[in-house]
Amino acid sequence: MRKLYINGISSISPQNEAIFKGSTPQQYENNILPAQAQDYKSLLQPMMLRRMSKGVKMGLFCAKKALDEAEVKIPDVILVGTGQGCMEDTEKFLSNMLESEEGLLSPTSFIQSTHNTVAGQIALDLNCNGHNMTFTQNSVSFESALIDALLQQNDQNIKNILVGGVDETSNELTGFQRLDGQIKKEGHRNLELYSSQTSGTIISEAAAFFALGSEKLKHSYAEFKDVEIINSLDEKILESRIENFLKRNDLLVSQIDAVILGKNGDIRFDQYYDQLQNGMFSATCQLGYKHLVGDNNAISSYAFWLASKILKEKKIPRIFKLNALNCARPRNILIYNQYLGRNHGLILLQDL
Amino acid sequence: MSDLHTELKKSIIEQLNLEDMEVSEIENDEHLFGDGLGLDSIDALELIVLLEKDYGIKLTDPNQGKEIFNSINTMADFIEKNRTR
């Protein structure tokens, strides 16, 4: 089987990318976190930019930066994972319908309200006619896109794959997640997320894209080894499922140098992570990221970005650490995420 | 410049999200599509909605669009002759 190298990466989130270099983290008290503003005009044409929602802007901007870093002009494949798609335009379109009593509707927001708008806009911008897929699978949307990436690499003609995750928030629709307890009822400081004793989490908008290639470059970040999705899982067999996943990659638990956990401060479901922290990974360097960038259906793409940075730069910023263990030369990093006790995702990255 | 010309320019800037563009930057005889303002087919749909919503004009023949949406002048002429509100 051919290898897949991570040759270019880019992320936009509620934190600047410079957080990896030790910059002061952004603090939020609202439970819906906005993505950091970017100079979109530096890479996107103003005439195209004017009708893009934030999710489309973030996705296209990250895609172009990741491809640029990998020195790829047009990828063979474009894969995007997004759980909720273009929420801003969906909300605009629905509001227009209400205001005009289902009369005259602006076509732009309707056209752009579909989940596959981001992947479509990337293809239009790059003039890429290759395989173009969008995966909407709740919190394993990005993992689903990664599975397709692994399938695509079996085709000898596929050299470069663009894969990413993106989810945006909107004024009203995102707030609906308060109604079923997904968002914490009380205001919560993001940096104190892990000490929370209440249900729900903090929701955010973010995007992270990666240029994966069959050829290793001088500046490649890491190798993307494997991914697995488990839609429903009894907590009791979580550890054995992880062991099986590692086993199929010829690894033991002790060979995992760092585990990136999707812990999100929801007292109802953080026990999945607690179990791993106190159990099979108690002697492993443990990292978290949702206290910085919040949670959404494609946020594991941020964990993928973090793992790539760690493996390339061989350092782990203190702000991501969940325990005191150090890891001088990280080689294997496991990413584990679940949401509301469902849709468990495992991703494995390895040093070059 | 008539009030209608100015009103049209303001509506187009707002409806089509022409950020950073001022009314004074759009010439009355400038082509709205192609080499001029650079509008595209999605904008054409928005302009059709704008005509119906603001001036009560329903375009029955899509082929008329090319002529009507040539410039601010041609749009204003068409609106003057056909407006119902």
| Helix axes of B3-15 and B41-55: crossing angle, nearest 10 degrees | 130
Q: At residue A334, does pLDDT exceed 70?
A: yes
Contacts B46 to A, Cβ<8 Å: 106-108
Q: What's the token pair of residue B33?
A: 């599509």
Give the pLDDT confidence score for residue A111 in this predicted structure: 87
pLDDT of amino acid A342: 97
| Token digits of residue A176 | 């609906």
User: Looking at chain A, which residue has its C-alpha nearest residue B14?
Assistant: A50
Same-domain status, A178 and A86 = yes
In a domain? residue A220: no
Tell whether A203 and A62 lie within a shared domain.
yes
Asked, for residue A51, whether it belongs to a domain, the answer is: yes
Who has greater pLDDT, A272 or A1? A272
Structural domain for A298, as ranges: 225-350
Contact A50 B17 (CB under 8 A): yes
pLDDT, residue A156, reads: 94
Show residues of chain B in contact with A51, CB under 8 Å. 16-17, 42
The whole-number pLDDT of residue B63 equals 83
* Structural domain count, chain A: 2
Higher pLDDT, A256 or A93: A256
Mind listing the pLDDT tens digit for each residue in A106-141?
Answer: 888 988 899 999 999 999 999 999 999 999 999 999
The verdict on A205 and A257 lying in the same domain is no
Apex CA A123: angle with CA A117 and CA A127, to 5°? 145
At A224, list the tokens: 């993307």
CATH code, A344: 3.40.47.10
End residue of a domain, out of A192, A213, A234: A213
Q: Would you place residue A344 in the very low, low, confident or very high pLDDT band (cuts 50, 70, 90)? A: very high
Instruction: State residue A213's pLDDT score.
Output: 98
Q: Nearest chain A Cα to B42, which residue? A: A108
Contact criterion met (CB < 8 Å) for B15 and A106: yes
Per-residue pLDDT for chain B (85 aa), expressed as one digit of tens each? 579 999 999 999 999 988 778 999 999 999 999 888 889 888 999 999 899 989 999 988 878 888 999 999 999 999 999 999 8
| A83 φ, ψ (degrees, to nearest 5) | -80, -40
Pairwise CA distance, residues A145 & A258, whole Å: 23
Note the pLDDT of residue A284. Answer: 97
pLDDT of residue A336: 98
* Burial (0-12, 13-18, 19+ Cβ within 10 Å), A340: middle
Ordered domains of chain B (ranges, CATH): 3-82 (1.10.1200.10)
For A53, name the nearest residue in chain B, comparing CA atoms only. B17
Q: Which helix (H) or strand (E) holds A126?
A: helix A117-126
Question: What's the DSSP call for residue A26?
Answer: P
pLDDT at position A187 is: 87
What would the two tokens of residue A192 be? 């104190």
Rounded Cα–Cα distance for residues A198 and A206 (Å): 24
Residue A28 has pLDDT above 90, yes or no: yes
**Whether residue A163 sits in one domain with residue A312:** no
| B42 to A111: CB separation less than 8 angstroms, yes or no | yes
Instruction: Please tell me the predicted confidence (pLDDT) of residue A12.
Output: 98
Q: What is the mean pLDDT of residues A273-300?
A: 98
Tell me the range of A55-69, A88-102, B12-26, B62-76 where mean pLDDT is highest. Answer: A55-69
Average of per-residue pLDDT values in chain A = 96
Whether residue A45 is found in the same domain as residue A181: yes
Q: Is residue A277 part of a domain?
A: yes
Chain A interface disruption, residue of B41, B45, B57, most A CBs within 10 A: B45
Predicted confidence (pLDDT) at residue A104 exceeds the cutoff of 90:
no
Alpha carbon of B1: minimum distance to chain A alpha carbons (Å): 26
3-state secondary structure at position A259: strand
Say which of A51, A104, A108 has its CB closest to residue B52.
A104
Alpha-helical (H) ranges within B1-85 are 3-15, 41-55, 64-68, 72-82
Residues in chain A within 8 Å Cβ distance of B11: none
Instruction: Grade residue A2 by pLDDT with cuts at 50, 70 and 90.
Output: confident
Q: List, in order, residues 6 or more apart from A106 with CB less than 8 Å away.
A: A92, A93, A96, B15, B46, B49
Q: How far is B45 from chain A (nearest CA, A)?
A: 7
A132-180 pLDDT per residue, tens: 999 999 999 999 999 999 999 999 999 999 999 999 999 899 999 999 9
Residue type, A115: H
